[in-house]
Structure 1
Amino acid sequence: MKKELFCILGLLCLSGAIAAQPVMADRHAARGMGCEACHAANDKTRPVRKDACLKCHGSYEAMAKRTEKVVPNPHFNHYGDRDCTTCHKGHQQSVVSCNACHQFDLKTP
């Protein structure tokens, strides 16, 4: 029997199970947001900057409050306000940049 492959939004493919983890762009697209929501002037060649993220997600302090029950709180750390894309990657898997020195069991969307 031949397995069928279904693609959702042309990004996430399923064949009975998830074949790839969704990335940040998938999460935004699923919520009806187009590229222009993050990319200034819809210019996909330029990186997304923190001010674009904070338009929707509020201040960095608001994000620290939102993740206050996460231990350690990734938005309240010894680096202070970091660029969101240090951890959150739009079109590839996100990372826990803290793990360059530490070994935290954090999930980064």
Structure 2
Amino acid sequence: MLKIFKIFIICIFISPLYLGAIDIFTKENYPIKSHHEKLGFTCSNCHKEKDPKEYKALSTDECLSCHKSYENLAELTSYLGYDDNIHASPHYPNMDCATCHSSHKKSKNYCVMCHSQDSMKNLLVP
């Protein structure tokens, strides 16, 4: 019984103190994509909240504040060719960026849910 009580005390009183000392907002925990890191971006380039604990996922409008427009993105990725240019989608011309892209974890190739051509399967989504 005493052993259980000691574990309870550690969990209730010591763990929160220890966890509070850990900086969870690090590049290790929230890595910045390489193309943004090459530009020297830090968290505050995209997240406008003053307190990192208040950071939230970005909206498409926030992404487009730098990337300008879907048309601009289609032009930047035009080298993929019409059939494989995910930013020139005839199906979803104004798709939410977060459908495919994630700033701090692996992004998803949404197109392969329907398309099976090898070129589409091999698209790298940064």
**TM-score bin (small chain):** 0.5 to 0.7
Moved over 6 A (4+): none
- Matched with 2:46 is 38
Compute the displacement of 1:39 (Å): 2.2
State the TM-score, normalizing by the size of structure 2.
Answer: 0.60
Q: CA deviation at 1:31?
A: 2.4
Measure, in 2, the Cα distance between the counterparts of 1:63 and 1:50. Answer: 13
Query: Which ranges of structure 2 fall in alignment gaps of 5 or more residues?
Result: 1-25
More strand per residue: 1 or 2? 1
Q: Name the CA shift for 1:35/1:10 in 2 (closer, same or farther; >3 Å).
A: closer
Partner of residue 114, structure 2:
101
Partner of 2:85: 73
Alpha-carbon RMSD across the aligned residues, in angstroms, is 2.3
The CA deviation string for residues 73-96 of structure 1, in whole angstroms up to 9 with x for no partner, is 100111111111111111111111
1:44-55 equivalent positions in 2, closer than 5 A: 44=55, 46-55=56-65
Kept in 2, the 8 Å contact 1:96–1:106? The answer is yes
Aligned length, in residue pairs: 89
Inter-partner Cα distance in structure 1 for 2:33 and 2:88: 26
Deviation of the 1:106 alpha carbon: 0.7
Q: How far off is 1:26 after superposition?
A: 3.5
Instruction: Return the alpha-carbon distance in structure 2 between the equivalents of residues 101 and 40 of structure 1.
Output: 36
- Larger helix fraction of residues: 2
Structure 1 unaligned regions, length at least 5: 1-8, 12-22
Point out which structure has higher relative CO (alpha carbons under 8 A, 6+ apart).
1
User: Rg: which structure is higher?
Assistant: 2
